[in-house]
Amino acid sequence: MSPRYNPYEKYGLRLVVNAAGTFTSVGGSIAAPEVFKAMEDASKSFMHIIWLQEWAGKEIAKATGAEAGFPTSGASSALILAAAACIFKGTELENYEPAYPETWSHISQKIPAHTEGLKNEFIIQKANRNMYDHAVEVAGGHVIEVGSKEDGATIEELDTAYNPETTAAYYITDGNSRKLLSIAEVAEIAHKKGVPLIVDAAGKLPPKKNLRKYLKEGADLVVFSGGKFMAGPNNSGMLAGRRDLIKLAHLQAFPFHGIGRSAKMSRETIVGFVTALKIYLELDEDALFPIWNKKARYLVEQLNKIPEVKAEIKHQTTVEEKKLTTPLVYVRPGEGYGLSVRDLYIELETGTPSIKTSTFGGVVSLNPKYLLEGDEEIIITRIGEILSRRK
């Protein structure tokens, strides 16, 4: 098996091969050296966090074309702050600025437990529900589902779901249902009803044009992860959108005492995130696809040499554009091994080294994006070893 450096070996921890993609559970992505250099520089002096947040917000606004932006401790934190901002839209909290929090913290601290008198219902298509929209409830919101998981929702159903307690609409771009109403359709109804639309686009990079896409389609607040393809610190993210809503989100965030107090970003993380954002804006994304394809083709070629193994390339596509993106390698062990796809997935992850993959639709999926030098050989060898024990 090809050797590969394991920086965690000194702690007694196994090597992990990331053949899954930008999974938070294995660290997101790998940042450029410039990101860590910027973080090191930031560690050498103190800085008012509010000043850093305002600086980062301007850089986010510039990158997204939004009125304003705000750095967050990951995409889930951004969703919580977005929901909180919408709940406090139209309240007296709008009259305050990020100064002297002792004069307004009693207002911001009403959520999540004391929502009396606050509009806190969020309209979501049932077919668009996902595990991440729990962030809305964390902020004190109530989710109102529209339509069905199987058949989606109609414009008429969505239109009639709004009521005086509705504070916003929510949309996740990774929804699997093809029966979802579009962002533009949802935005049109929300705006007609006088409420904003939050769009969760945490994992929708690349392409970088998506940084501006959803705001153009009508979103009022858009969430992106900083620790995925943007390659910032794993605990970073951003919120972009309307200036009035971003201000309310800021009043709920640290260093103040609202719902976002626990989701701190160090001064080093904020600087590292903005550095990663600037690097990403200059990245030639198209140059990466041939590299990924080469790795995927090699995996398929070598895995298909193992008896009864079927490996093939399937391209990940975006629902909106049908654009070819990541080449995924789908692997199926032959029935003669008596090994289910789930069993293979578990053996890869729990073995030495631990190989992180994905599984769905009767295949083990290998994503070549973050395979480091020597990882392809490790994967091929491990799958061969696992299967040989079954013969």
Give the pLDDT confidence score for residue 322 in this predicted structure. Answer: 46
68-105: b or e for each residue (b if 16 or more CB lie within 10 Å)? bbbbbbbbbbbbbbbbbbbbbbeeebeebeeeeeeebe
Cβ–Cβ < 8 Å for 166, 89: no
CA–chain centroid gap for 62, Å, is 20
CA 132 – CA 135 distance, rounded (Å): 6
Domains of the chain: 9-27+285-388 (3.90.1150.180), 33-281 (3.40.640.10)
Token reading at 10: 């000194």
Whole-number Å distance between alpha carbons of 191 and 250 = 23
Report the side by side order of strands in the sheet with 358-360. Answer: 310-317, 324-332, 363-366, 358-360
- Report CA dihedral (252, 258, 264, 265) to the nearest 10 degrees: 20
Q: What is the pLDDT of residue 176?
A: 56
For residues 308 and 360, give the distance between their C-alpha atoms in angstroms, rounded to a whole number.
Answer: 20
**What is the 3-class SS of the chain, one letter each residue?**
CCCCCCCCHHHCCCCEEECCCCCHHHCCCCCCHHHHHHHHHHCCCCCCHHHHHHHHHHHHHHHHCCCEEEEECCHHHHHHHHHHHHHCCCCHHHHCCCCCHHHCHHHHCCCCCCCCCCCCEEEEEHHHCCHHHHHHHHCCCEEEEECECCCECCHHHHHHHCCCCEEEEEEECCCCCCCCCCHHHHHHHHHHCCCCEEEECCCCCCCCCHHHHHHHCCCCEEEEECCCCCCCCCCCEEEEECHHHHHHHHHHECCCCCCECCCCCCHHHHHHHHHHHHHHHCCCHHHHHHHHHHHHHHHHHHHCCCCCCEEEEEEEECCCCCCEEEEEEEEECCHHHCCCHHHHHHHHHHCCCEEECEEECCEEEECCCCCCCCHHHHHHHHHHHHHHCCC
pLDDT of residue 179: 83
Q: What is the pTM of this model?
A: 0.93
The pLDDT assigned to 278 comes to 98
- Residue-wise pLDDT tens for the chain (391 aa)? 446 889 999 999 999 999 999 999 999 999 999 999 999 999 999 999 999 999 999 999 999 999 999 999 999 999 999 999 999 999 999 999 998 899 999 999 999 999 999 999 999 999 999 999 999 999 999 999 999 998 899 999 999 999 999 999 999 997 555 689 999 999 999 999 999 999 999 999 999 999 999 999 999 999 999 999 999 999 999 999 999 999 999 999 999 999 999 999 999 999 999 999 999 999 999 899 899 999 999 999 999 999 999 999 988 655 444 455 789 999 999 888 889 999 999 999 999 999 999 998 899 999 999 999 999 999 999 999 999 887 6
* Angle at 189 (CA atoms; ends 221, 95), nearest 5 degrees: 45
CA 103 remoteness from chain centre: 34
Greatest Cα pair distance, the chain, in angstroms, is: 71
Distance between terminal CA atoms of the chain?
Answer: 21
